[in-house]
Amino acid sequence: MSSKVRLLVVDDEEAIRDLLAIGLGHRGFDVKVAADAREALAHIGTFAPHAAIVDVMMPGEDGFQLTRRLRQDPNLYILMLTARDAVSDRVQGLDDGADDYLVKPFDFDELVARLNAGLRRIRKEETASWQFQNVCMDDVSHRVTVDHDPISLTAKEYELLRYLLLNPGRVLSKGQILQHVWGYDFTGDDNLVEVHISSLREKIRDRNKSLIQTVRGFGYRLGD
């Protein structure tokens, strides 16, 4: 892939998790593993994967149930991986929201090819520009305007605004913002978020804090 893709692997078999984590890591993916649905859902908010490989036969909540919950994110690419090869199982997986279905035992190169093809297709469908109220961002030219007037942002301010525009109405914690804007290995002070939010508000003329709202005790939200 041309950029680091965050991939969540959900499988109750430790050997499969280890195989995929190592192999896909070598192929350039940023991999997080989970042994069951509960652990997978705990990773969603903090890891924010671009794609998920989901095993069907797991204890507790199975892969079909988990897929229905993951499908709440329309931009997440979901590949179901299972030993169940009946047509009815494949149909159920696709009906529940999976984008593709691969039967165990699988060829690793085919798995990677399916992931890359699916992610390319999704990325082609994604928009390269966003608008919220009077703020517009063009992700191709990296141009941001407020009331049609161009404004100048630092690289981190741009990434922060982009993350907010991608999640309108959603409360984002400082931790989520740090991980998405500064990286998952960032260990600095989370007050950095407040500083950049304040600067961004000034530049986009949000002096009354009605556009980027502070949700006390939780984080920040773009609009209502």
Reading the chain (224 residues) residue by residue, the pLDDT tens digits are 335 789 999 999 999 999 999 999 999 899 999 999 999 998 887 888 889 999 998 988 999 999 998 987 777 899 998 887 777 777 888 888 888 989 888 899 999 999 988 887 766 555 568 899 999 998 778 899 999 999 999 989 998 999 899 888 999 998 888 877 887 556 667 789 999 999 999 999 998 899 999 999 999 999 87
Q: How many CA atoms does the CB half-sphere of 79 hold within 13 Å?
A: 24
The DSSP call for residue 148 is T
* Helix and strand element counts for the chain (H, E): 8, 11
Across 197-215, b (16+ Cβ under 10 Å) vs e yields beebbebbebeeeebbbee
Pick the CATH number of 5-125 from 3.40.605.10, 3.40.190.10, 3.20.20.150, 3.40.50.2300: 3.40.50.2300
129-222 folds as Arc Repressor Mutant, subunit A (1.10.10)
Which ranges in the chain are annotated with CATH 3.40.50.2300?
5-125
Question: What is the C-alpha to C-alpha distance for residues 131 and 116, in angstroms, rounded to an integer?
Answer: 29
**pTM as predicted:** 0.56
Q: How far apart are CA 99 and CA 125, in angstroms?
A: 14
Residue 43 phi, psi (nearest 5): -80, -20
> Which segments of the chain belong to CATH 1.10.10.10?
129-222
